Structures are given as structure tokens and as C-alpha cells.
Amino acid sequence: MSTPATLPAAYGGPGWSPRTASTREELGSLWARCGSAWEWTRLEAVLLHRPGAELGTTDPGPSLLLDRIDAVTAGREHDAIAAAYLDAGIDVAYVDPPATAAAQPNLIFVADLLFMTPHGAILARPASTVRAGEERWVARRLADLGVPIARSVGGTGVFEGADALWLDTTTVLLAHGLRTNADGAAQVAAMLKEMDVDVVVTDLPRGTMHLMGQLRIVDRDLAVARTDRLDDAALGALRAHGFTVEPFPDDAEMDAGFAHNIVTLGPREVLMPAGRPITQAFYESLGVRCRTIVVDELIRAAGGIGCLTGVLRRASP
């Protein structure tokens, strides 16, 4: 047998260069700059999918939409969201399946399809057969962008990214309910444990879709929530991590106007639906700066600005 000194490099001899850096250490060099372990720091990069004609030709009920949608108007509203991000200095990338792929109207809700960590994305597995396979297009786009997929949910597990949020860099609040089953939650918890992240599991009541629809974090110490829909585990975890939890003031603007479905652009700065005066005044009373955008057609698809926005990168505090 050859001695180590005479081995070819391919077998560990001279010239062999071991890869010792972690994926996290390779972000910004081998991989693209990406990642997040915060909900409130400066937003730097997002992933969107612009809706097409499928929104105007889809039967609402079986497709999980709330009503018929004017696709042209919805497209214009979506373009305005992207413009608002660009105006705020945020990078915008798009998921664009090939023209030969069957159109999936819910693909616009990119937040459901990934959950970003400091090590890369956890790829989701949507809960409905209507959305099955959307994760393929997100996986392809993440690869194209140089964003590593740290883990993927599989087997019988289902998990949607809007059911998880960061309380701090070592703790994630993870919801179990309609869109994330027990198997999916267990898989995500195990993935995060490998990253030295603790998970607090909360149960969502019947009739709710995602954790995102009940809770948003707008600063390091401030959360806004539908407190009547959060259990003791969630509320206790928020308070234990130093958050003041302020209840939303008006159910009508929540239910009909998705006024709670916001994106935090930075500390106490949000992008929210226009024309929700009660909720906007509530945010502003907390010292939150509000940028507003019209999304009245898009919300007929059963989601708002937060659902439409996949977070790729947030700045460190």
C-alpha cells in the first residue's frame, strides 16, 4: 500500500485540501449572503412570486381563495409591493416556474414555503394537495440564488413557514395546527435543535391558518397579536423573552382587511395594507412607522403582505 506521502491528492495525499468551514461560515463567499434569526431587524432581501392570469381563472373555493380575483389588478398591486421593497433598499428576487408548469395560484404566498435560519432555508412542505409541489419551484430558485437549503421537511410531515418565528437567536416559536402537523413540527424542531435552537410549540385554534396571522414582532421588545387566539405557551414564551404583547384593536380590519398581515422592515417600521385607519393609528401609537400599500385585490386570495413575502435576509442587530 502506498504511504501517505505518495498518495494522490484524491486519496488524501499532498494537495488534498479539507473543507473545514461550516455552511454558515461559507455564506457570503461560496454561498450567497442570506439568513435570519430575527423578526424585527432591518429587512435586506426577499423572495416573491408575481401572480399571473391563473388568479383570474381559478375557482376560488377548491383553490383556497376567498373570492374571484381580477388578475390584472392583483398583478399591479404585487408590483407596487415589490416597488415598496426596492424603495426601502431591499433586494427583490422572484420565483418563476417554467411556462410548461401547471399554474398554482397559491404560489404567491412565498412565506409559507420556507423558513430562514442563520444556516440557510428550511424548505417547507405545504399541507394542502392544492399546494403540493410548490416547494419544488422555491427549492430551484433558492439554488439559483446561491441560498443553501439547510433542511427539508418530508415523509408525512407538513410544515409551512408562516407557522414559525424567531423570539431570539436561540428560540423559535413553532405552531401546530391546520398547516403544520405533529410530524412536521417534530421535524422542524429536530432540525433547529441541530442548530442549537430551542423550540416552543404552540397550538393554534380551529379556524386559524398560520401563526403569522395571529402574531407579528415589530421590535426587539414589542409584539402585536390577536391575544385571544394564542395559548399560554405562546404568550408565556413572548413575555419570558422580554416582549410586551399589545392586542390588535379591531377585529373587522383584521378579518376583512388583513390589517395584521404586515412585514417588519426594521425596528418599529412596517409595510401594511392601506385603508386600515384604526389599525394604522394603533401601530403609530406604539411608535411604529407605517408604510402603506394597496392590496385589496390580493387579499381575496386569503393572504396579505406578510404571506406574500419570503424573507431571505435580515441584518444583524
Query: Tell me, what's the pLDDT at 3?
Result: 64
Query: Tell me, what's the pLDDT at 299?
Result: 97
Grid cell locating 225 = 397579536
pLDDT tens digits for 121-153?
Answer: 999 999 999 999 999 999 999 999 999 999 999
In sequence order, which ranges of the chain are alpha helices (DSSP H)?
23-26, 54-57, 71-87, 134-145, 182-194, 232-240, 251-255, 277-285, 305-308
Tell me the CATH class for 33-314: alpha beta
Percent of the chain, pLDDT > 70?
98
pLDDT tens digits for 244-280?
Answer: 999 999 888 998 899 999 999 999 999 999 999 999 9
Give the residue carrying C-alpha cell 408604510: 291
Mean pLDDT, the chain, rounded, equals 96
Number of H helices, E strands in the chain: 9, 15
Give the residue carrying C-alpha cell 376560488: 60
Percent of the chain, pLDDT > 90?
91
Helix (H, G, I), strand (E, B) or coil at 63: coil
CA 16, chain centre distance (Å): 40
